[in-house]
Structure 1
Amino acid sequence: MSRRMSIERVNEYGRNAVRLDIDGSAVLLEAAELDALIKHLAVLRATMRPAVPTAPLRSHRYVIEVDPCWHTEKPALNDGAVMFLRHSGLGWAGFALPTESLAKLHHALTQHLEASLEVHGMLN
């Protein structure tokens, strides 16, 4: 069963909002309400099948956040690190990386950094 849905940004009475219309029933959502909806939808999506792919699909055009804010910290109850990345539309997402994954990420990022420094003539 297919339903007609539209989503648009509106400025109702000077406030920024998103208008969500499904089959003629509409609701205006302000930023906090939209954040709550996105979070709830993400939790629901995580339980659905098919699952989100475990690797990026080469055929998909991803939205790339340029130079995002990030934060890391040592988790209280296990090894490794917790890494937070900020997306301007989705907010902060946290990832607990055990030591083995952290080492693999370090290796991959080091390779990218060295290649970038070499291209820019900054690597001795």
Structure 2
Amino acid sequence: MYQTLLVEAVQDSGRQAVRFNIGSNAAILDVDDVDLLIERLGQIRSGLSPALPHEPSRTHNYVIEIDPCWYLDKNPLFDGVVLLLRHTGLGWAGFAIPQSSLERLQDAIVKPAPRLFDVSQVPS
């Protein structure tokens, strides 16, 4: 039987933390534990079915990171680049982008596709 999950930010001994309550059980995670949990959940989710869709939903309200930090690196063992993007809540995510995809991405940036999101809904 599933029980309701409650997740909330708390102060624990003067430090920021996250408390998880499931039924009568609770756990408090510090920032490092939250980072590990996010990373591990991402690893687990990548193997679950159904897989995440290959295209973004036009109806989902995605969290948009405004002007994210990014890092680009050429890897001599890979014909393309490794792009790291930083999300303030999820951390750094890495993407190995092959040369053929880079060319398509450059074309898409130069000649933008129709809008997927209503930009009036993005918080400023």
TM-score (normalizing by structure 2): 0.87
Computing the radius of gyration from Cα coordinates, the structure with the larger value is: 1
- Match for residue 117 of structure 2? none
Cα displacement string for residues 55-104 of structure 1 (whole angstroms, at most 9, x for unaligned residues): 10001000000000011010231101111100000000000000000100
Where 2:34 maps in the other structure, the secondary structure is helix
Where 1:54 maps in the other structure, the secondary structure is coil
- Match for residue 119 of structure 2? none
- Match for residue 115 of structure 1? none
- Matched ranges for 1:5-24 at <5 A: 5-24=5-24
Cα displacement string for residues 10-38 of structure 1 (whole angstroms, at most 9, x for unaligned residues): 01221100001112211111110000001
Query: Which consecutive segments of 4 or more residues in structure 1 shift more than 6 A?
Result: none
Quick one: distance in 2 between partners of 1:87 and 1:62? 13
- Match for residue 100 of structure 1? 100
- Match for residue 27 of structure 2? 27
Q: Give the letter for the 1:25 counterpart.
A: N
- Match for residue 80 of structure 1? 80
Higher RCO (C-alpha under 8 Å, 6+ residues apart)? 2
Instruction: Give the count of matched residue pairs.
Output: 112
The gaps in structure 1 that reach 5 residues or longer are: 113-124
TM-score (normalizing by structure 1): 0.87
Quick one: distance in 1 between partners of 2:42 and 2:77? 25
Where 1:86 maps in the other structure, the secondary structure is strand
Deviation at 1:111, TM superposition (A): 2.2
- Match for residue 57 of structure 1? 57
Where 2:102 maps in the other structure, the secondary structure is helix
- Match for residue 38 of structure 1? 38
Quick one: distance in 2 between partners of 1:48 and 1:23? 25
Quick one: distance in 2 between partners of 1:103 and 1:42? 28
Which structure dedicates a bigger proportion of its chain to helix? 1
Where 2:111 maps in the other structure, the secondary structure is helix
Structure 1 vs Structure 2 CA RMSD: 0.9
